[in-house]
Amino acid sequence: MITLGLSFIIPCITLPAENIPVQPVFHQITDQPVDYGSNDPTITIMAEAPESGTPINWDQKLHAFYLLATALLMLHFVVSLVIFFLRLRNQQIEKIGKIRLVKSSSGVSNGSFLNYIFLSDTTISKLEAEQILAHEIEHVKRYHSIDKLFARAVQIVLWFNPFSYFYSKAIEENHEFEVDRAISQNADKQLYAELIFKLSTGTNGEFFNHFSKFPLRTRLNMLFAKPSNKIKKLIYLLVLPLTVASLLAFAGREALKSIKPAVVHPLDSSQVNYEQFLKRNPSVKHLGWSIDGKRMGVHLKNGKSEMYKLNDSKDLEKLKSKYGNLPEAPPPPQTPPVKAPTTSLVPLEKGVGNSLSVVDGLEKLGRNPLVEIDGKTYDNSILYKISRSCIQGNTVYSVAGAFEKFGEVGKDGAVVIKTKEGVLTYLSPLDIENLKAERAVPGSRVYGTYPIKKTDGSLGYGVRIKFPSGGSMSATVNDLSKVGHMIDGKLYEKEEFIQIITKLGRSGKGAFGVGLDKNHPQRAGFETVLWFHTKEFDGLRTGYKPTRTQPKSKIEGLLFNASDSVKFTGDHRFIHLYGRTFITYQMSTTISADYVMIDTEEQTLIASAEEGKKVRFSTDAGMVLADTVKYNIRTKKEKLFRDNREIN
């Protein structure tokens, strides 16, 4: 059994061997021009059209036939086992330790399988039964049934190999030789041989170790044969290293994998034309073609590059008038595999597929856009794996813009991503599910909301803004009513915010983002703020001229003014005060803050300060400094917060 197992293991062993490098010469056959990045001499050969008709794939058919035959044999094997154990239910079984003895008078042959021993009690005497029982117990002790099952499994897998049947037969005969030798040491060989001959059977069971079956000649010869002397055993031992050496000769060798055949290609007119083109235009360093053959780049020695559309008659005429006749596109040189960057990654779970990306605008790029993350180049497949949680910002360059900025490598566009802490995180299955919900929002909708699932199983909401000129931003919150909408430092109601960004977004000018703007006072009462800055706006302190504003209040006894601006909602329920703000109520309570929101219906207010500053809350009892103050005007009760904790 060991040699049978080694026959499967040894061919899988790879032996290290001397690696003799062979310099390959590549020759590519193509049916269209491809991208080219250097001026090394090479040519293009057009592929011939294939012959009509589909040839028969005999390898595929043979493979299918092998699988079918293997499946049928395996099915027969399993069914036979099931039938065997089902028949045991109707038999009387006697337990002898771990042995299960099955006595039957229904013509069952004497034998064993696993720990079951079958004994026919109609044709044998008590002495013969004892010898048979001793014989079969020896089979059980040596686990011969396991050997037979393994050999049968090998026969099923290698059913086409006749040697598997011979090997299985040899294993079975060897089992009998081992047991006969063990039994004959404590029994009369002559009587034991007569019993074997008397109970001989022609049955060849699939699982059974039968006590006696034809042919018996070899078995009886081995029973009376003398043991080999030490010299013969030594000769047999010498065969072992020869056998191992022959098996290892078939093991795989790594050196063979690294040898690649060299293919030599002759020069043709296309190569000559390319060299003549470079001589005719000394200012040109090299040419480049897009993969689809529709664009051509001219890279000059001064570092500049020019892009022309070959399917545009005007562009093509301009190109020819400037540089003359054009050569054919040569195939690209073979490039070595790119070494993976050493950025810490959270690996994607196996089995999770995804065709969506958190980066918008990829549909406008080519097939192989350049992807840079924190200054390192990645394969573009990472765009469909990276999670939004690790992205601080990203820029998507169009094909023209990327070619102008990055040169030839940006011929299909580019995506530049900056992470928050230099660590990438990948989309989890839950992230992908939420991303699908986000993408279900119609693309024509500027402002969309959708339900999301959180890691703790609770539900939340996602908010996505997609600008008409391109680009988008999104946020997740627990309460949609606690989303702030800010343009150039001012808060707006959602409907008004959508109208303004729809107009501003078409120009493509400005910056946008999610969160509490560090250049603006904290927005108390909001989970997050969606903000948009026009290019004319350069931050709160430099973009606005402070002016004193003191409008009339709807709450009797409440006076306020703001150094920056005041914003009322349409129904005048909410009042937003920006800049250094002072509030006085009935001359007994004074609040000084950087931002205040007043709810005139509930008669409550929330005041907060810029980072590094405090809200001053003064009453007749004294003055207190806090990060945030929530004040109920009706009850004259306040809640003070410092470091996100309520203070007394």
The residue among 409, 437, 465 that closes a domain is 437
Please check whether residue 387 lies inside any domain of the structure: yes
Q: Which residues contact 384 (CB under 8 A, 6 or more apart)?
A: 354, 355, 356, 357
Q: Please, what is the Cα angle at 600 between 598 and 604, to 5 degrees?
A: 55
* Residue 556 burial by Cβ neighbours in a 10 Å radius (0-12, 13-18, 19+): exposed
Please check whether residue 500 lies inside any domain of the structure: yes
Please check whether residue 383 lies inside any domain of the structure: yes
CATH code, domain carrying 593: 2.60.450.10
Up-side HSE of residue 23: CA atoms within 13 Å toward CB?
Answer: 1
- Residue 131, SS3 per DSSP: helix
Same domain? 129 vs 199: yes
The residue among 199, 227, 255 that closes a domain is 227
Same domain? 629 vs 581: yes
DSSP states along 317-384: HHHHHHH-SPPPPPPPPP-PPPPPP---EEPPPTT------SSTTGGGS-SS-EEEETTEEE-GGGGG
Q: Mean pLDDT per segment of 10 residues, for the chain of length 648 residues?
A: 66 56 37 37 35 60 89 90 82 81 69 80 71 80 84 86 82 79 73 69 52 56 57 54 60 46 42 72 78 73 81 86 77 41 33 67 85 90 86 83 85 88 80 84 80 84 78 81 80 84 64 58 68 54 35 68 75 81 81 88 89 85 87 90 82
Amino acid 347: pLDDT: 33
Q: What are the respective helix, strand and coil percentages of the chain, to the nearest 5?
A: 35, 25, 40
The residue among 421, 437, 453 that closes a domain is 437
Distances (CA, A) of 411 to 196, 304, 305: 85, 14, 11
Distances (CA, A) of 321 to 281, 316, 317, 442, 460: 12, 9, 6, 47, 62
Same domain? 605 vs 638: yes
Same domain? 551 vs 469: no
* Residue 467 burial by Cβ neighbours in a 10 Å radius (0-12, 13-18, 19+): buried
Task: Return d(Cα 247, Cα 267) in angstroms, integer.
Answer: 47
In angstroms, how far apart are the furthest CA atoms of the chain? 126
Task: Return d(Cα 566, Cα 579) in angstroms, integer.
Answer: 9
The dihedral over CA atoms of 36, 41, 47, 48, expressed in degrees to the nearest 10, equals: 160
Please check whether residue 289 lies inside any domain of the structure: yes
Task: Return d(Cα 86, Cα 91) in angstroms, integer.
Answer: 10
Please check whether residue 585 lies inside any domain of the structure: yes
Same domain? 94 vs 191: yes
DSSP states along 615-641: EEEEETTEEEEESEEEEETTTTEEEEE
Same domain? 465 vs 502: yes
CB of 77 closer than 8 Å to CB of 148: no
Task: Return d(Cα 629, Cα 557) in angstroms, integer.
Answer: 19
Distances (CA, A) of 170 to 1, 151, 177, 566: 11, 10, 10, 98
Amino acid 548: pLDDT: 36
**How would you classify the pairing of strands 99-104 and 93-96?**
antiparallel
| Single-letter amino acid code for the residue at 27 | H
Amino acid 198: pLDDT: 67
The dihedral over CA atoms of 299, 375, 473, 532, expressed in degrees to the nearest 10, equals: -80
Name the residue among 526, 467, 530 with its Cα closest to residue 494: 530
Domain count, the chain: 5
Q: Which residues contact 62 (CB under 8 A, 6 or more apart)?
A: none
For 576-612, b/e burial (b = at least 16 CB within 10 A) is: bbbbbbbbbbeeebebbbbbbbbebeeebbbbbbbee
Name the residue among 565, 425, 561, 562 with its Cα closest to residue 491: 565
| Eight-class DSSP state of 390 | G
Same domain? 509 vs 605: no
Same domain? 377 vs 433: yes
Task: Return d(Cα 628, Cα 648) in angstroms, integer.
Answer: 13
Domain limits for position 567: 545-647
Please check whether residue 237 lies inside any domain of the structure: no
Task: Return d(Cα 626, Cα 107) in angstroms, integer.
Answer: 98
Please check whether residue 52 lies inside any domain of the structure: no
Please check whether residue 291 lies inside any domain of the structure: yes
**How would you classify the pairing of strands 376-378 and 459-466?**
unpaired
Same domain? 325 vs 347: no
Same domain? 168 vs 270: no
C-alpha radius of gyration, the chain, whole number: 43
Up-side HSE of residue 398: CA atoms within 13 Å toward CB?
Answer: 5
Same domain? 322 vs 469: no
Q: Which residues contact 245 (CB under 8 A, 6 or more apart)?
A: none
Amino acid 370: pLDDT: 93
Same domain? 84 vs 202: yes
Amino acid 84: pLDDT: 81
Amino acid 555: pLDDT: 77
Q: Which residues contact 443 (CB under 8 A, 6 or more apart)?
A: 466
